[in-house]
Amino acid sequence: MISKKMEGALNGQIQEEFYSAYLYLSMSAWFETKNLKGFANWMKIQNLEEQMHAIKIFDYINERGGNVQLQNINKPQNEWNSPLEAFEAAYKHEQHISGCFNDLVHLAMEEKDRASQIFLDWFVNEQVEEEATADEIVQQLRIIGDNGHGLLMIDRELGARVFTPPAQSDKNA
Ligand code: OFO
């Protein structure tokens, strides 16, 4: 059985993950308006990954005999001045999410909830990758600056991203 405190905090994180999904879907829509289909594809897949993160926490709360309570999701920003500005915002957002997971780990430690600590490890590791990927794209966009050709090259690269849903049996995916 999970403590009420831990349950509440994990419900809050479901909301964060769905907000992340919403934000990236909004970025995808904005990239579509700029005809940058590869960037739009990357963001749409990011949106699916975030939904998967939310469901992972949803399943965990249920598995521990807790009560999932979904919250409101705020309207995300829907316009950015440049692809660089959008990716800087994505990177900053991922740093915020990493902070959320650090707080959750601290709470799990306080609550002496070993199962939640182990569960949260997956997200802590995932955040290292999420931050690194967003930062890498920010750096590439800074290098190309106003070079349209460079932008199209990155667009082609991001267009190749595909979503791989985790195997049903693999709880650690
Ligand atoms: Fe972007 O990461 Fe979820 O957790």
Is there an atom of ligand 1 within 6 Å of 6 CB? no
Residues comprising the chain, all counted: 173
Entry pTM: 0.95
The closest of 126, 113, 125 to 7, measured between CA atoms, is 113
Q: Is 7 in the pocket of ligand 1 (CB under 6 A)?
A: no
- Mean pLDDT value of segment 23-39: 98
Question: What does the pLDDT look like over 32-86, one tens digit per residue?
Answer: 999 999 999 999 999 999 999 999 999 999 999 999 999 999 999 999 999 999 9
- How buried is residue 137: exposed, middle or buried, by Cβ count under 10 Å (0-12/13-18/19+)? buried
Verify whether ligand 1 is closer than 6 Å to residue 53 (CB atom): yes
Structural domains of the chain in order of their starting residue, each with its CATH number: 4-72+80-159 (1.20.1260.10)
pLDDT band, very low/low/confident/very high, at 173 (cuts 50, 70, 90): low
pLDDT tens track for 118-159: 999 999 999 999 999 999 999 999 999 999 999 999 999 999
Give which of 50, 85, 68, 51 is closest to 10, Cα–Cα: 68
